[in-house]
Amino acid sequence: MVLPESVQVIADVIGREKALILIGKLPRHICGIEGRKCSRIAFYIPTVKRMRLDHSLVKILGWNDALKLAKFFGGEIMQVSTCVGIYKEFIRKTIQRMRDQNLKTSTISGRLQLPEWYVRQIMKTKNPHKVVPEKAANNASLNAVR
């Protein structure tokens, strides 16, 4: 699937997989329209000088990739598509690939920063699109990116 342009610019810097992980882990806010979640996410990327080890971008991506974003977009507020469908498919395929490598559920869960119950559900469900990754991401509870 083709990424929306707003996400592709991030993927050009840190790679498609890391960009999808970032977008999937960022908190989504209620838009105010009948309680619907927004189709876009806004988040701030600090400058290189202001990037800290405890920043949410570092927690999600690791220091090197967070620093790459800071070098390219430091000081900007990014507004990107949530890529919900693309993210769901990416997670499903990634879990399947890791399971095919005989990795334990706990290992997959740790690497993808998802709760084990969610990974088990994806592994056993015939229609993984029915599992809601936003709920899993909320349970992993990362602070909002500042």
- What is the C-alpha to C-alpha distance for residues 85 and 58, in angstroms, rounded to an integer? 25
Confidence tier at 146 by pLDDT (50, 70, 90): very low
Beta strands 40-45 and 76-81: pairing type?
A: antiparallel
The residue among 11 and 126 whose pLDDT is bigger is 11
Q: Please determine, for residue 65, whether its predicted confidence score (pLDDT) is greater than 90.
A: yes
Cα–Cα distance, 52 to 111 (Å, whole number): 22
Which of 26 and 64 is assigned the larger pLDDT?
64
pLDDT for residue 138 is more than 80? no
Confidence of residue 89 (pLDDT cuts 50, 70, 90): confident
Which of the four pLDDT bands, split at 50, 70 and 90, describes residue 88? confident
Which band of pLDDT confidence, cut at 50, 70 and 90, is reported for residue 41?
confident
User: What are the residues whose beta carbons fall under 8 Å from the beta carbon of 70, sequence distance 6 or more?
Assistant: 45, 46, 47, 48, 50, 51, 57
* Selected residue with higher pLDDT from 44 and 37: 44
Helix axes 133-140, 16-25, angle to 10 degrees: 80
- Helix segments in the chain, DSSP class H: 5-14, 16-25, 56-61, 63-73, 84-100, 105-112, 116-124, 133-140
In this predicted structure, what is the pLDDT of residue 141? 39
Whether the full predicted model's pTM is greater than 0.85, yes or no, is: no
